[in-house]
Amino acid sequence: MKTFKPLLLIALLILASCSDDDDGTPPVINDEEVITTLTVTLTPNGGGPDIVLTSRDLDGDGPGAAVITGGTLAANTTYTGVVQALNELEDPAEDITEEVAEEDDEHQFFFQAISGANITTMYTDFDGDGNPLGINLTLTTGDASNGTLRVTLRHLLDKNAAGVSEGDITNAGGDTDVEVDYPIIIQ
Amino acid sequence: MRSIILILLFIGTSTTYSQQCNFTLKGNIIDFHDGKPLVDASIVVIKDGNILKSTTSDSKGKYLIKGLCIGKVELYVSHTECNSKTIPLEIKGNTTRKISLEHHLENLNEIVITGEKREQGISKATSVQTLKTADIEQFSDASIGDALKEISGVSSLNTGSTIVKPIIQGLNSSRILIITNNVRLQDQEWGIEHAPNVDLNTADRLTVIKGSGALQYGGDAIGGVVLAKPKALATKDTVFGKTILSGSSNGRGGSVSSSVDKGFNNGIGLRVQGTYKRFGDFRAPDYFLTNTGTEQKAASFNFGINKFLYGAELYYSYYDTEIGILQAADLGNVTDLIRAINSPVPEIIEDFSFDIGLPRQEVKHHLIKLNSYLRLKRLGKLGFQYSFQFNDRQEFDNRSFIDDDIPVVDLELTTHNLDLLLEVNNLDNAKISTGVSAIYQENFADPTTGVRRVIPDYEKYGLGVFGGIAHDVTDDLLIDIGARVDYTRIDAQKFYRGTFFDDRGYNIDFADIIVEQVGSQILVNPVFDYTTFSATLGLAYNINETLDLQLNYGLASRPPNPSELFSEGLNQASVAFELGDLRIEEETSNKIALTLKGSLFNGRLNFNVTPYINLINDYIVLQPSEDGVITTSRGAFQEFEYIQNDARLVGFDVDATYDYNDYFQFKTSFSYLRGDDTEAERPIINIPPANWFNTISYNNKKLNNLSLQLKSEAVFEQTRFPDNNFIARTVVNNEFVDELVDVSTPPPGYHLLHFNSSIQFNLSKLTKLELGFAVDNIFNTNYRQYLNRFRFFADELGRNFKLRIKLNY
């Protein structure tokens, strides 16, 4: 009968714990890993005003579409580019670029010129293994053209797969953190 | 209430033993009608509510009980085919007593269910199928979903190879009730990738009701009911135990499961049981399935006093599982999905490992049950049960910018159940059962995940009242009628994205539930009440000595689950957006099933044919939304929404066994099912394809019970499926291309061959050893299953050699 008492205690404890304890409203959760805002700031190497490409989707995964502002670039010009990723669901907005830089071996930005945009890019920052990261880049335009610049951030990708270190996303694998298509006019 | 439990726990703890106890009681037990001896009748000697002795009658109907004391006792005599009887008796010395029992409704029972015991709460007019201990033990290292597939008409919905959910005649998840040890499992069963949190090794019998025929447990069993029942506790002085060791080549792991029972003569019984299971990465024929290892720890403890007049039991079970999820199925957006679908082999294949990395699920389930019963003179049996369940589900994934040790999903579901049941069995040709059951449930979504809640915090209250009567119209006809009314209230605290709230038109229809605006989100407090009605009608008709007919009609009604109401975002497991709808109401099913059971050629051929039709009004189903694809900052995703359409499921299950001679047996089972959305006029998704199982077995009782089995498993291609394909914009060679993503077409059919064998050795009078050897998928066939959500990414398991050692002691 010795086992009996602890069992009773357990049973009573459970019953006692039935009572209602939380009637307050639950705390709000803002998705912490969403990139709501992606900007690419392009500074012409020969001087002149910055071109800022922006994408803002303030309802995250909600039905509201992102507001995307592309840019007009000068033909045959080289720009120094910096990418910034923000989570504006948090207050104050969280700069996710910092976390990308901290986990640089797990992340990489990709820049794809699509539908005829005469753009080439070059990575100018690298992780500890010498693989590209892509927060900083050099962007060079060719002749006048229209098209799209797609900027993608992947994590847990295979940086050693064929072409990945040259910025080719095809074999990168991994998960997409952000993917934005900016309309570009080159004139 | 506490005091009631205290009293119930204390009842019957005092025991009395007598001194001069060397008298015998013997006699015959005969059939009242024809005077024939009754074999295997049970005789229990009861004194002051305590079971003193028990025995069963031999092949000539004779019984003998030794060691009785002088004094007044009661004999409780029962037999499966007869009415039980209680006989007062005074022992003055050695006594001889002839006992006659009357054939009763159990007569029908015996034929209807071919001698199987009925589970509590199920009418004899309800068609059931049961897996017994020996069948279950073969799945000691697998899951309840794997074991249930042995029953025709039961298939499974898998996520990989280790998350296995049962499907009964085409329906799964919230449409199936799983009852373990008389408690309805509350383990977040709504999710397609949430497998039942039950250690199969706790079950001694698994019974499937393909319909709503168990109103005692709920009126919402649109699909069916699974009852996992442990062995009854010992009620006399005894100690015994069982250990099963299993090992598998595929997954390079296995399990050990052990249980020990102790019984005392005063009716006190005790059982301790535990299981440990561990597997590494499983292997498809051509590659390892990286990150598919699992670990499971489970234990249960059962303590009770079972006397004839009253009894009480305390049961506790703990289930803890960690399940790795195929790494190659962890995808970002539609671009990743297309890439993975087009890849003939998984994108990530690594060497074998025991590591359970990311993604993975960690689930813990606690269940505590207190129950008691009291037999009331000239009335019947009164039962009381309280149960508590706590289910903690955590899902881990590769996190972009947060520590991977913080789960992306962390839900805690707490459930309290209170049940009262009265069974009236003193009527001549009818049995009445009635009861009340109450539920309080609370879901808590841990906010520390940093991910918006998949399921909101909610409280659920429910009250159900049910009653039923089973009436013998004639010796050959039994009618069973039951009805249940349930009231359910869901009171939730849900944050919506403001844009979503408006987009769904909730700002107009549900303006009154808004509590406050918090940043870009809106907190709402929806309170929904559902009153649902369910009913069953069963007829069992004994056509002649070899044929029985059962007709079952079931009306079942199910309120929407939290997922159907509140979903609002990405389901990582399906790489798709799933949107619930606050406007969803209950779905109602009308199911008619006919069961024809027969036995021909002197009982050598036994068959069972069950055609059925299930008409469901307002069937809740996920369907591609009008937009089809949603674009987010992470790229595009396919978008589904829950809608309600009328549905019709029509099918049949056939089972047959033929005993060729004493050694060879042939067994076959075939299932076919059509499911249609009758409003949208298209097939329903995830309907199991036709399947045909054939088994040849050889059993030799003289040769250490040697058993050899060859089983063929043929699964046909599902040709009826809804077209859920969608067009996604992708980039090929630096140009945008609209690509058709085929997420609909089922994989081709397949045929597998399995081998199973076992042999038994009696090591001593009480110790029995059984060795089992089995090979699954003998030919290492590559195949994919329509009902595996990972069919786009990887093949099913390849060949697997299994060894099983069972020791009874």
On whether both B116 and B83 belong to a single domain, the answer is no
Contact call for residues B536 and A95 (beta carbons, < 8 A): no
Q: What is the token pair recorded at B463?
A: 């009250």
User: CA of A7: which chain B residue's CA is closest?
Assistant: B314
B379 and B507, same domain (yes or no): yes
Q: Quote the pLDDT of residue B679.
A: 94
Side-chain half-sphere CA neighbours of B564 within 13 A: 24
Q: Fill in the amino acid letter for B358.
A: L
**Using 50, 70 and 90 to split pLDDT, how confident is the model at B111?**
very low
The answer to whether residues B247 and B188 belong to one domain is no
When pLDDT is cut at 50, 70 and 90, the band that residue B81 belongs to is: low
- Check residue B32 and give its pLDDT: 67
pLDDT of residue A143: 96
- Give B752 or B627, the one with higher predicted confidence: B752
What is the number of other CB atoms lying within 10 angstroms of the CB of residue B485?
16
Kindly determine whether residue A115 and residue B523, on different chains, have CB atoms separated by under 8 Å. no
Question: Across all residues in chain B, what is the average pLDDT?
Answer: 90
Beta-carbon separation of B5 and A178 below 8 A: no
- Residue stretches of chain A with pLDDT short of 50: 1-5, 7-8, 11-12, 14-22
A84 touches chain B (CB under 8 A): no
pLDDT tens per residue, range B403-427: 899 999 999 999 999 999 999 987 8
Q: Are strands B99-101 and B23-31 parallel, antiparallel or unpaired?
A: parallel
Percent above pLDDT 90 for chain B: 69
Q: Which residue is it, tokens 């499926």?
A: B721
Statement to judge: residues B80 and B149 lie in one domain: no
Q: Which amino acid is at B210?
A: K
Q: What number is the average pLDDT over the span B479-494?
A: 95
Task: Choose one of B65, B89, B104: the last residue of a domain.
Answer: B104
Q: Which of B176-180, B194-198, B311-315, B468-472 has the lowest mean pLDDT?
A: B468-472
For B280-405, list the strands marked E by DSSP.
Answer: 282-283, 288-289, 294-306, 310-324, 360-376, 380-396
Looking only at Cα atoms, what is the longest distance across chain B? Answer: 101
In this prediction, residue B443 has a pLDDT band, given cuts at 50, 70 and 90, of very high
Asked if B622 and B639 sit in the same domain, the reply is: yes
Residue B588 has pLDDT above 90, yes or no: yes
| 3-state SS, residue B725 | coil
pLDDT the model gives residue B480? 92
Q: Which residues of B touch A146 (CB under 8 A)?
A: none
| B21 contacts: CB under 8 Å, gap ≥ 6 | B67, B68, B69
Distance CA B744, CA B175 (A): 23
Q: Which of B70, B104, B138 is the C-terminal boundary of a domain?
A: B104
Q: Are residues B327 and B431 in the same domain?
A: yes
pLDDT of residue B657: 95
B246 band by pLDDT with thresholds 50, 70 and 90: very high
Residue A103 CB-density burial (10 A; 0-12 exposed, 13-18 middle, 19+ buried): middle
| Same domain membership, residue B713 and residue B773 | yes
Question: Which of B402, B634, B731 is facing A32, going by the closest CB pair?
Answer: B402
Question: Is-cis flag, bond preceding B359, omega within 30?
Answer: yes
Average pLDDT over residues B621-640: 87
Tell me the backbone φ, ψ of residue B325, rounded to 5 degrees. -115, 130
Identify the CA nearest to B420 among candidates B387, B382, B464, B368.
B382
* For testing contact with chain B, the best of A59, A67, A91, A181 (most B CBs within 10 A): A59
3-state secondary structure (DSSP) of residue B501: helix
Which range is most confident: A148-152, B569-573, B625-629? A148-152
Range 115-174 of A in CB contact (< 8 A) with B: 115, 148, 150, 152, 154-156, 173-174
**Which position has the token pair 């396919």?**
B638
B148, β-bridge pairs:
none
Q: For residue A132, give every residue at least 6 positions away whose Cβ sits within 8 Å of its Cβ, in sequence order, or none.
A: A108, A123, A125, A126, A159, A165, A167
Q: What is the CA radius of gyration of chain B?
A: 28
Residue B123 is predicted with a pLDDT of: 65
Q: What is the pLDDT of residues B726-739, one digit of tens each?
A: 999 899 889 999 99
Residues of chain B with C-beta less than 8 angstroms from the C-beta of A66: 631-633
Beta-carbon count within 10 A of B741 CB: 20
State the pLDDT at residue B96.
85
Q: Closest Cα partner for B170 from B127, B210, B131?
A: B210
Secondary structure (DSSP) of B38-81: PTT-EEEEEETTEEEEEEE--TTSEEEEEEEPSEEEEEEEE-TT
Confidence of residue B37 (pLDDT cuts 50, 70, 90): confident
The DSSP secondary structure of B13-30, one letter per residue, reads: ------S---EEEEEEEE
Nearest CA distance, A94 vs chain B (angstrom): 11
| Stretch among A103-112, B46-55, B236-245, B350-359 having the lowest mean pLDDT | B46-55
Whether residue B268 contacts residue B262, with contact meaning beta carbons closer than 8 Å, is answered with no
Q: Is the pLDDT of residue B520 over 70?
A: yes
* Domain segments of chain A as ranges: 31-186
- C-alpha angle with apex B120: B118 to B125, nearest 5 degrees? 50
Give CA–CA dist B240/B234, Å, rounded: 9
CATH code, B55: 2.60.40.10
Residue B715 has pLDDT above 60, yes or no: yes
> What's the whole-number mean pLDDT along residues B86-109?
68
Q: Please give the backbone phi and psi of residue B784, each rounded to the nearest 5 degrees, phi first.
A: -130, 150
Cα distance between residue A124 and residue B246, in whole Å: 56
Domains identified in chain B, total number: 3
pLDDT band of B332, cuts 50, 70, 90? confident
Chain A contact set for B13 (CB, 8 A):
1, 4
Q: How far apart are CA B659 and CA B642, in angstroms?
A: 49
CATH classification of the domain holding B171:
2.170.130.10
Domain residue limits at B46:
2-104
- Beta-bridged to residue B676, according to DSSP, are B648, B683
User: Does the distance separating the beta carbons of B398 and A175 come in below 8 Å?
Assistant: yes
- Of all residues in chain A, the one with the smallest CA distance to B301 is A7
| Residue at a domain's end among B104, B126, B152 | B104
Selected residue with higher pLDDT from B321 and B3: B321
Least confident of B290-294, B315-319, B423-427, B793-797: B423-427
In a shared domain, residues B214 and B280: no
**B129 is written with which tokens?**
């199928």
Domain co-membership, B453 together with B434:
yes
Q: Rounded to a whole number, what is the distance in Å from the CA of A162 to chain B's nearest CA?
A: 14
Q: Do B407 and B448 sit in the same domain of this protein?
A: yes
**Residue B727: predicted pLDDT:** 92
Q: What is the average pLDDT across B233-254?
A: 94
- B103/B105 Cα distance (integer angstroms): 7
B180 and B238 housed in the same domain? no
Interface residue A114 vs chain B (CB under 8 A)? yes
Q: Name the packing angle between helices A4-16 and B2-10 (round to 10°).
A: 160
What is the mean predicted confidence (pLDDT) over B571-580?
83
B219 and B257 together in one domain: no
CB atoms B632 and A28 under 8 Å: no
Contact A10 B368 (CB under 8 A): yes
Mind telling me how many Å the CA of A41 is from chain B's nearest CA? 18
Supply the DSSP string of B732-771, one letter for each residue.
ETTEEEEEEE---PPPPPEEEEEEEEEEEEE-SSS-EEEE
Is A31 touching B (CB cutoff 8 A)?
Answer: yes
Q: Is the dihedral of CA B376, B380, B382, B383 positive or negative?
A: positive
* Residue B42 to residue B592: CA distance in whole angstroms: 37
For residues B438 and B430, which has the higher predicted lDDT (pLDDT)? B438
- CA nearest to A58 within chain B: B520
Predicted local distance difference test score (pLDDT) of residue B47: 80
DSSP H or E run through A10? helix A4-16
